[in-house]
Structure 1
């Protein structure tokens, strides 16, 4: 049976790190942060308020895909955060040697914007939120994953995702 990687996706401030951490804890799976895979040039661009291009994102997405494949080769299920805003980005992640499933954290601009306004210590400025929503392509009906409303408490979001994915906590 192939291994599974849950990709917790959504715009910046949607709660990817929080929900991925809760899913990883509930399932007993290792977790990685997509931000750790960004090359320094991408971080510098975002820190300066410049949106990344598809060309900027491609090596980053391939690095995440390769990490998923490494987990698969080791026989490990895993959880990773990744904005994965466009279907073409998710297509790159699906090239991994594992079953890639998505947990799309869906929240309106008011909810997410207020979270970003109070967040500190992150290189993604709130000013780029509009560009993320402009790029966002929600999961298609043919994509392996679920959409969860992030206006609910994190524990409820996590429980809902696990139920909809038919995954049992350890």
Structure 2
């Protein structure tokens, strides 16, 4: 169980396309017993259409999507005050690329827009963790060539890699970095780190 003292926590499993964030997020959801949402499902239709046509998203496209992710987490974890708190999960996982620090700041509630000089959002009591699996560009490209029926194109992966500002533990709030490896190894290391962060203990 998760410690009663632990704050409501949004866990963002982040990375470029091909990093395995959706698969990892679903696995961690099962291991930790908390909800999972694939952030791709929260994109507005215009974003999906743009990516499907091979065009990368810009900050104007991403901002409403990132805000929707945070709003979804707040609604799920904190509610509107009308539903009993015991019916809400203590944490949830959302897979989201979260490539730039400014995107992560927006998801953390540190800023109200993608502008680094914008005022912060009102305090919500929501803690945000970013879990990043560090995968090499060569491996990401190999995985992309194996994927079928996904809207992400090779040129868009290159754009994502150019955009990526790798999070660094200790220099950015709430960041957990796990090195790539075998699927089970990565899942085990990530689950162990999250259990520690969430105050998980055996029932």
TM tier, smaller:
over 0.9
The residue that corresponds to 2:188 in the other structure is 159
Distance in 1, matches of 2:42 and 2:193, equals: 28
The residue that corresponds to 1:93 in the other structure is 107
The residue that corresponds to 1:68 in the other structure is 73
- The alpha-carbon deviation at position 143 of structure 1 amounts to 2.1
Distance in 2, matches of 1:51 and 1:142, equals: 26
Distance in 2, matches of 1:142 and 1:16, equals: 20
1:138 aligns with 2:166: yes
Choose which of 141, 144, 148 in structure 2 pairs with 1:113.
141
1:126 aligns with 2:154: yes
1:65-107 alpha-carbon deviations (Å, 9 max, x no partner): 0011112214421011000000110111112642110110211
- The alpha-carbon deviation at position 9 of structure 1 amounts to 0.1
Q: TM-score, normalised by structure 2?
A: 0.78
The residue that corresponds to 2:121 in the other structure is none
The residue that corresponds to 1:50 in the other structure is 55
1:32 aligns with 2:37: yes
Unaligned stretches of 5+ residues in structure 2: 80-87, 110-123
Aligned length: 169
Closer, same or farther: CA 51–97 of 1 in aligned 2, 3 Å:
farther
Q: TM-score, normalised by structure 1?
A: 0.93
Distance in 2, matches of 1:157 and 1:143, equals: 22
Distance in 2, matches of 1:108 and 1:162, equals: 21
- The alpha-carbon deviation at position 30 of structure 1 amounts to 0.5
Mapped contact 1:87–1:137 kept (Cα < 8 A): yes
1:28-54 alpha-carbon deviations (Å, 9 max, x no partner): 001001001111111111111111000
- The alpha-carbon deviation at position 162 of structure 1 amounts to 2.3
Moved over 3 A (4+): 167-170
Other structure's SS at 1:104 match: strand
Distance in 2, matches of 1:67 and 1:155, equals: 29
Q: How much is the aligned-residue C-alpha RMSD, in angstroms?
A: 1.6
Q: Which has the higher helix share?
A: 1
- The alpha-carbon deviation at position 158 of structure 1 amounts to 1.4
